[in-house]
Amino acid sequence: MKKRGKGIACIFYGTGYGNGFPDVSRAYAELQPDGKVAIYTGATEVGQGAKTALSQIPAEVLGLSVDDIIFINEDTSITPDAGTAAATRQTYNTGNAIKMAAEELRNELIKIAVKELELNSDIGLKMKDGKIFLEIYPDKCITFSQIAAMQEEPLRKFAVFTAQTVQIDPETGQGAPYWPYTFSACAVEVEVDTETGKVEVIRGAHAQDVGRAVNPTLIEGQMDGGFAMAMGYVIYEDLGLENGKIWNNKLSSYIIPTSMDMPEIQNIIVEDPENTAPYGAKGIGEPVMISVGPAILNAIYDAVGVRMTEIPVTPAKLLKAIREKEQKEA
């Protein structure tokens, strides 16, 4: 018989290395001869979209399009250390460092513009599409490339951002080990085949607090991916560990969900800007996965009344649990 059940779960997640550990990102912003701006930072793109989001931030600061940001990030000989692409920290931490470097560059450009345009002050100066101009008299204008041409050495600004966390008291466990926190919630409906133990997730809704959605499409991608990864973790991925030997040591037996297993998911992006974050944007790398698992387990419980306490909930394990419950009740 096929039985349906619903489950929800919610979580909060602390971003970054945390617990007082120095969590440091560094970046350069450098004006190029053609008026584009290069960002140098040691943040790794692992498919999460760091290059895109971390290009959007300086583009916003400098009034440029993303195409005018040259993002250089995977050559350690020319980029400053920005820590790992881990702990959901790159958008927040490195985003902050890049934003600060871009702001320094912006201030420098404004200073040069005031001087070159022979203005009284920087009041009313606008920066857009590689130009700096007076809003009330746009003929007073200088381009980024004109400024670049005046420089003997490239105009380059550096910034460091260190996240603020406090080590917890080892005895009481009190303190402020992480900052910022993100929040997410998930609801799923499952269908359990009580005769084979197979669990099908038939739909899901997934809400994620992102602070500010720098790139909503990338966020949705991360949320879809987090959902799939959690499904794999909770109902598919079985190492088959037996006395230290891994039986499922290839991808034909260690299985992850395919697109045929993924349900329709409603992603809900919640924006609650964080004041220490770049434009309010918090990291959402890992938290998108966390609430999905317990929601599925709760839905299984709702469907068949068995509380599974070990993952993955393979059909074999679930069928056994269902049969044991039936035998007990009989």
Partner 1 sequence: MELKKVIKAEKLDEVLNLLAENRERAKVIAGGTDFVIQLREKKIAPEVIIDISDVDELNFIRKSGEFIEIGAATKFTTIKNSGIISDAFKGLKDAAGHVGSPQIRNLGTVGGNICNGSPAADTVPALLALGAVAVVKSKNNTREVPLEEFYLDRGKVKLEPDEILYAVKFLNSKPGQGLGFVKLGLRNALAISSISIAVFVETDNDINCKDVRIGSGALAKFPIREKEVEAFLKGKTLHEDVIEEATEFFGKILEQRLAGRPPVEKDYKPYAIKGVFKEALNKALSVVC
**Residues assigned a catalytic role:** 286
Among 84-92, 157-165, 256-264, 283-291, the segment contacting partner 1 (CB under 8 A): 256-264
Per residue, the 3-state secondary structure of the chain, as one string, reads: CEEEEEEEEEEEEECCCCCCCCCEEEEEEEECCCCCEEEECECCCCCCCHHHHHHHHHHHHHCCCHHHEEEECCCCCCCCECCCCCCCCHHHHHHHHHHHHHHHHHHHHHHHHHHHCCCCCCCCEEEECCEEEECCEEEEEEEHHHHHHHCCCCCEEEEEEECCCCCCCCCCCCCCCCCCEEEEEEEEEEEEECCCCCEEEEEEEEEEECCCCCCHHHHHHHHHHHHHHHHHHHHHCCCCEECCEECCCCCCCCCCCCCCCCCEEEEEEECCCCCCCHHHCCCCCCHHHHCHHHHHHHHHHHHHCCCCCCCCCCHHHHHHHHHHHHHHHC
Residues composing the chain: 330
- Judged by CB, which is closer to partner 1: 212, or 323? 323
* Minimal distance, residue 320 CB to partner 1, in Å: 7
The CA–CA distances, whole Å, from 242 to 235, 237, 279 equal: 19, 15, 49
> With binding defined as CB under 8 A, does residue 196 bind partner 1?
yes
> With binding defined as CB under 8 A, does residue 211 bind partner 1?
no
> With binding defined as CB under 8 A, does residue 316 bind partner 1?
yes
- Judged by CB, which is closer to partner 1: 136, or 251? 251
Residues within window 49-78 making contact with partner 1, judged by CB under 8 A: none
- Judged by CB, which is closer to partner 1: 149, or 256? 256
Q: Report the alpha-carbon distance of residue 198 to residue 3 in Å, rounded.
A: 11
> With binding defined as CB under 8 A, does residue 257 bind partner 1?
yes
The mark string for 261-280 relative to partner 1 (x by CB under 8 A, - otherwise) is x-------------------
> With binding defined as CB under 8 A, does residue 319 bind partner 1?
yes
> With binding defined as CB under 8 A, does residue 236 bind partner 1?
yes
User: Cβ distance 40 to 98 under 8 Å?
Assistant: no
* Minimal distance, residue 289 CB to partner 1, in Å: 19
Residues that bind partner 1 (rule: CB under 8 A) add up to a total of 22
Q: Which of 5, 95, 130, 197 binds partner 1 (CB under 8 A)?
A: 197
Q: Which of 131, 198, 212, 325 binds partner 1 (CB under 8 A)?
A: 198
> With binding defined as CB under 8 A, does residue 258 bind partner 1?
yes
- Judged by CB, which is closer to partner 1: 2, or 128? 2
Q: Which of 33, 78, 320, 324 binds partner 1 (CB under 8 A)?
A: 320
Residues within window 214-233 making contact with partner 1, judged by CB under 8 A: none
Among 86-94, 108-116, 133-141, 187-195, the segment contacting partner 1 (CB under 8 A): 187-195
> With binding defined as CB under 8 A, does residue 193 bind partner 1?
yes
- Judged by CB, which is closer to partner 1: 24, or 262? 262
List interacting residues with partner 1 (CB under 8 A): 193-198, 236, 240, 252-253, 255, 257-261, 314-316, 319-320, 323
